[in-house]
Amino acid sequence: MRTTAFGLLLACTLVVGTLPAQGRPGRVRGVVVDSLLGDVLPGATVRLLPLGRHAVSDSTGRFVFDSVPAGDWSVSFTHPALDSIGISGSAQGVHVFAGASAMTILGTPSFEPIRQRFCGETRDSLSPSVAFGTVQTRDGARVRVNVSVSWMLGSVQGASASPGTVRTIANGAQQLWIACGIPLGAWFHASVQDSLRNASAFMHMGPRGIAVQNLVLGSGTAPVQGVVRDAAGVPVRGARVSVEGTTQSAESDARGAFFVRDAPNGTVTVDVRAAGFAPWVAAVNGGDTLDVELQPLRLSPSLSGRGSDYLRLLQRSGREGVQLLTGAALSGDSAALSTLPLAGTCAWWLDGRPVSREFFLAQPQWSWRALELYPRGEEAPPEYRQTGCPIALLWTAAADW
**Mean pLDDT throughout 118-122?**
69
What's the confidence (pLDDT) of residue 27?
92
Structure confidence by residue, pLDDT tens digits, 185-204: 888 888 887 767 788 888 88
Distance CA 149, CA 171 (A): 12
**Mean pLDDT throughout 141-150?**
82
pLDDT band at 141 (very low <50, low <70, confident <90, very high): confident
Residue 335 has pLDDT above 50, yes or no: no
Distance CA 64, CA 75 (A): 11
Structure confidence by residue, pLDDT tens digits, 17-36: 333 445 689 999 999 988 76
44 or 87, which is more confident? 44
What's the confidence (pLDDT) of residue 30?
92
pLDDT band at 148 (very low <50, low <70, confident <90, very high): confident
61 or 3, which is more confident? 61
pLDDT band at 94 (very low <50, low <70, confident <90, very high): very high
What's the confidence (pLDDT) of residue 309?
54
Mean pLDDT lowest among 230-234, 295-299, 309-313, 389-393: 309-313
What's the confidence (pLDDT) of residue 234?
94
**Mean pLDDT throughout 380-399?**
73
Mean pLDDT lowest among 53-62, 143-152, 153-162, 266-275: 153-162
What's the confidence (pLDDT) of residue 161?
33
Nearest to 132 by CA among 190, 78, 184: 190
Domains of the chain in start order, with CATH, are 21-107 (2.60.40.10), 111-217 (2.60.40.10), 221-294 (2.60.40.1120), 305-331+339-396 (no CATH)
What mean pLDDT is reported for the chain?
A: 74
Distance CA 50, CA 75 (A): 9
Residue 136 has pLDDT above 90, yes or no: no
**Mean pLDDT throughout 76-82?**
81
Report helix, strand or coil for 155: coil
Distance CA 94, CA 91 (A): 10
Q: How many CB atoms lie within 10 A of CB 297?
A: 19
Mean pLDDT lowest among 124-128, 329-333, 373-377: 329-333
Tell me the whole-structure pTM to 2 decimals. 0.56
pLDDT band at 233 (very low <50, low <70, confident <90, very high): very high
What's the confidence (pLDDT) of residue 205?
84
pLDDT band at 67 (very low <50, low <70, confident <90, very high): very high
Residue 221 has pLDDT above 60, yes or no: yes
291 or 202, which is more confident? 291
CB-CB contact of 75 with 47 (8 Å):
yes
206 or 110, which is more confident? 206
Percent of the chain surpassing pLDDT 90: 18
CB-CB contact of 273 with 279 (8 Å):
yes
What's the confidence (pLDDT) of residue 56?
93
Burial group, residue 3, by CB count within 10 angstroms (0-12, 13-18, 19+): exposed
**Mean pLDDT throughout 375-391?**
72
What's the confidence (pLDDT) of residue 89?
72
Percent of the chain surpassing pLDDT 70: 68
Nearest to 394 by CA among 332, 326, 347, 348: 348
Q: What does each C-alpha distance from 252 to 127, 237, 395 come to in angstroms? A: 39, 5, 31
**Mean pLDDT throughout 67-77?**
92
Nearest to 135 by CA among 201, 72, 82, 180: 201
What's the confidence (pLDDT) of residue 401?
43
Buried residues in 122-137 as b, exposed as e (16+ CB within 10 A): eeeebbbbbbbbbbbb
What's the confidence (pLDDT) of residue 344?
52
67 or 161, which is more confident? 67
